């Protein structure tokens, strides 16, 4: 004969009770009522003896209730400003915890009769945006879509100036290494500036184009990975010119396919940040530099 053992923890020590398993079928039973207080008893074990000489084991830990993540679109950052070469940009950035994503909504142009010239929406996987201090959203860093194991995820590109044949500037000490990242920015620099269209063509140039067929246009990862791929034009061996503004700690680098990239570093910042990217082209009137 097999028995199920029950207890009532409302008493000290707990009241115990043994009940024969119906037809010796383990698991097929109903909890009896406590003979002392009438409350439903708790099953805690089974065995062959009609009584259980062992003490009642301690109760199992309570099941932790995992809080439900909110599906609300929580505002993170909004604003508007001129995008050089492209006009007004009005942006709103929200985060959805349940979907683990950040949404960029970029409205281009002046709103007329309830409509903007164009609206672009991008989805960014949660975790790629490094949320920092409030009221300083433009300086939040964006993790690079591709990084090496153990590498700083916010570094998109780097150059070893110490190993390059740079001309000495009197009274100026150049950094030995330039580590470049991308900030959230605004209409004039950073990821918002780039997603708004300023650097659209430089994301897919020459040997560094990527195939975006079949990929949803709202996935911010696509232009980000294309942007990082295009930055290979500024690999160390491809750099043809470096200009440096010591007063603003700003570099202008020229790389392959006549690409230009501007990076700046504010005091206390761990790395340089991309201000913008340009293309250049030769024309009958000389070399023209224009926003891509």
Compare 185 and 224 and report the one with higher pLDDT: 185
Compare 148 and 129 and report the one with higher pLDDT: 129
Q: What are phi and psi of 122, to 5 degrees?
A: -125, 140
Compare 262 and 288 and report the one with higher pLDDT: 262
pTM, full prediction:
0.70
d(CA 77, CA 241): 36
8 Å CB contact between 172 and 248: no
Q: What is the pLDDT of residues 140-153, one digit of tens each?
A: 999 988 887 677 89
């Amino acid at each position: 004969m097999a028995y199920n053992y029950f207890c009532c923890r409302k008493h000290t020590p707990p009241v115990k009770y043994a009940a024969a398993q119906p037809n010796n079928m383990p698991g097929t039973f109903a909890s009896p009522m406590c003979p002392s207080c009438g409350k439903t008893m708790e099953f805690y074990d089974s065995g062959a003896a009609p009584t259980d000489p062992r003490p009642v084991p301690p109760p199992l830990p309570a099941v932790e209730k995992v809080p439900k993540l909110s599906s609300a679109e929580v505002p993170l950052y909004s604003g508007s400003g001129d995008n050089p070469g492209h006009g007004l940009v009005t942006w709103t950035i929200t985060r959805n915890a349940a979907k683990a994503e950040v949404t960029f909504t970029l409205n281009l142009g002046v709103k007329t009769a309830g409509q903007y010239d164009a609206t672009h929406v991008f989805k960014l996987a949660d975790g790629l945006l490094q949320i920092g201090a409030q009221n300083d959203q433009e300086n939040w860093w964006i993790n690079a879509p591709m990084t090496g194991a153990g590498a700083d995820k916010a570094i998109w590109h780097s150059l070893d100036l110490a190993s390059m044949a740079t001309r000495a500037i009197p009274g100026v000490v150049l950094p030995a290494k330039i580590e470049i990242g991308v900030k959230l920015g605004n209409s004039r620099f950073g990821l918002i500036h780039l997603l708004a269209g300023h650097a659209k063509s430089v994301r897919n140039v020459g040997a560094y184009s990527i195939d975006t067929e079949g990929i949803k246009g709202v996935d911010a990862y696509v232009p980000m990975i294309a942007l990082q791929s295009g930055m290979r034009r500024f690999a160390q061996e491809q750099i043809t010119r470096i200009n440096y503004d010591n007063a603003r700690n700003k570099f202008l680098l020229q790389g392959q396919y006549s690409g230009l990239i501007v990076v700046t570093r504010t005091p206390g910042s761990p790395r340089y940040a991309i201000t913008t990217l340009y293309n250049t082209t030769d024309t009958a009137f000389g070399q023209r530099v224009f926003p891509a």
